[in-house]
Amino acid sequence: FGWSTPVAERVVPIVKKAVEGGKIVGAICNAASFMAKHGFLNAVKHTGNGLDQLKIWGGENYTNPDGYIHAQAVSDGSIVTANGSATLEFAKELLTLLENDTPEQIEMYYQFNKQGFCALFHE
């Protein structure tokens, strides 16, 4: 819950520079709400812990409710957002943007972690 503290405001210039520079920026759970609060989601499709929370945190600075997608994780341009229960989907979107591996390998790792060893490898 640190994203609602005054200390978090120190991150704003770093995020702004990253977004303006086309760097990959990821925001999960309340970090997505923080992004809404500072207008970083106004030009991209995004998700978070629900549209209502984004509106509450974002107030007048959040002007893109039509860009909200009710999904575990959303990637648009260089910004990845996710709700608090979407750690695997968030990681998958980031790894894809980072071109960490082939899409097939990233999907395999995602499925392995989502379904588990026992589900994928039967005796």
Question: Catalytic amino acids?
Answer: 29
Instruction: Map residue 35 onto helix, strand or coil.
Output: helix
Residue pair 69/93 in contact (Cβ under 8 Å)? The answer is no
Q: In b/e form, how buried is each residue of 29-38, taking b as 16+ CB within 10 angstroms?
A: bbbbbbbbbb
Backbone angles phi, psi at 41, to 5 degrees: -105, 5
**Do strands 79-82 and 73-76 pair parallel, antiparallel, or not at all (unpaired)?**
antiparallel
